[in-house]
Structure 1
């Protein structure tokens, strides 16, 4: 007689479909935001693109077609962010997720930048994230759930001597993500902080990085980080990823 062992019948979870969902993206005209927009459209989603460069943003909206709407947005302005989210509801009927990818970075110690540069970095990275979170909550509550994805950095896990104020803004984003996860999870709202290490974007060009430097090719690609973002959005609703840090194989942690 042949005896068969009892095997666990559970299978790998089926990813959620993003087809027809509407996702707002800040910082959408370049880098991680742009790569995320392309990845989400490939997954069947509608995207609402926000960025300061209105000319570039308009070209991108035209290129991506009917499933994209472009809204010039300076995330330092709560009114701009409000209009960005409202555009998603007006064009597509609802907003299901927001990806807060707008950010700027300057290498240097705490004394190395003038007052205006410091304020621009703090207002963009910290207040720009807060305004995005605050603006989507009413819509997510109407929908009984949603996703907030905050693009932070490993600099928000351990600050380097050459990135003092930038690191402070990224610690702020990760702290915000943890706090709102604890606040909003009972309402079905998931919060993820994505914390990539160095990524080959326009980040800090001229203020610590040099365009064309061959070492930039050793960093993460923006598409790598976009893959993380799409992955957390496609997770089954019973689970959430609160913090996802990543490095390229060439970079130490």
Structure 2
């Protein structure tokens, strides 16, 4: 049975690749983006299987309207993929208030609004799957991406809580945790803070590490993986995408557990009698 998939940020990158993968196998896709002209070729090729919708996920009312339009058009929404987001590169000290708020508006609040909008539909259906495109940087951190890290850490906390609240309604929640991929995320779609010379060495180290062979994954390789995630009746809460993500997260968690254990007696002392 075909599914109805609602994808934000579907004009390029993961969103575009995944939308095409679903359409190729006969699923129905609500493909949203700020510029629907970039989706017209999908409409021409797949016809009634695709519904392009203009959407700025920062706009809560528009997010609810888009979900309503999708439900009215296809009759149901089986999967929501919150994919819209961007990277903000720069040291924490360099970041302006506007840059910080804009990063959180898109990467966190956009996820919140769409999740809230789709929940009544999925509760009525007694089924559904909300997939949040987070990042391995929602579990570990890198310098020069402080606000991006923070936005994804926020998505992690929100989504893990949400999963525990809606499981009883037949709704699953999954966090996709990609490492870096060769998409537009770190290119034209990214934003840069106004640089302070004192952080040049930190940025040079970051750039050197980012240019190492094999750091970036092949985005096309995620197409079959997202299908497996959507089709699994018992999807995981978290799914790491890429060998770099797997290695970085597992090593970081190992170090955290060792640190917790080292300070165990002090932690227990802090509880009091």
User: Normalised by the shorter chain, which TM-score bucket?
Assistant: 0.7 to 0.9
* Distance in structure 1 (CA, Å) of the matches to 2:105 and 2:225: 26
Matches within 5 A, 1:84-163: 84-163=66-145
* Distance in structure 2 (CA, Å) of the matches to 1:97 and 1:250: 24
Q: CA deviation at 1:230?
A: 1.7
* Distance in structure 1 (CA, Å) of the matches to 2:241 and 2:126: 31
230, 238, 241: which is aligned to 1:243?
238
- Check whether the contact 1:22–1:47 (CA below 8 A) recurs between aligned residues: yes
**Compared CA separation, residues 108 and 98, structure 1 to 2 (3 A):** same
Whether 1:24 and 2:18 are equivalent positions in the alignment is no
SS at match of 1:195: strand
- Check whether the contact 1:150–1:194 (CA below 8 A) recurs between aligned residues: yes
**Compared CA separation, residues 27 and 216, structure 1 to 2 (3 A):** farther
* Distance in structure 1 (CA, Å) of the matches to 2:243 and 2:10: 23
Q: CA deviation at 1:40?
A: 1.1
- Check whether the contact 1:200–1:217 (CA below 8 A) recurs between aligned residues: no
Structure (1/2) with the larger helix percentage: 2
Whether 1:70 and 2:67 are equivalent positions in the alignment is no
Using the size of structure 1 for normalisation, the TM-score is 0.83
Show CA shifts across 1:77-105 (max 9, x none). Answer: 11221122122212211111100000010
2:228 aligned partner: 231
Show CA shifts across 1:155-184 (max 9, x none). Answer: 000111121000000111111111011111
- Check whether the contact 2:5–2:29 (CA below 8 A) recurs between aligned residues: yes
* Distance in structure 2 (CA, Å) of the matches to 1:50 and 1:109: 31
Q: CA deviation at 1:248?
A: 3.9
Residue correspondences, number: 231
Q: CA deviation at 1:30?
A: 0.5
**Compared CA separation, residues 199 and 186, structure 1 to 2 (3 A):** same
Q: CA deviation at 1:216?
A: 8.4
Matches within 5 A, 1:44-83: 44-83=26-65
* Distance in structure 1 (CA, Å) of the matches to 2:98 and 2:90: 15
* Distance in structure 1 (CA, Å) of the matches to 2:109 and 2:245: 33
Task: Give 5+ residue unaligned stretches, structure 2.
Answer: 193-205, 249-273
1:11 aligned partner: none
**Compared CA separation, residues 252 and 124, structure 1 to 2 (3 A):** same
* Distance in structure 1 (CA, Å) of the matches to 2:46 and 2:104: 31
Matches within 5 A, 1:161-240: 161-205=143-187, 207=191, 219-236=216-233, 239-240=234-235
**Compared CA separation, residues 71 and 215, structure 1 to 2 (3 A):** farther
Task: Give 5+ residue unaligned stretches, structure 1.
Answer: 1-18
* Distance in structure 2 (CA, Å) of the matches to 1:182 and 1:175: 11
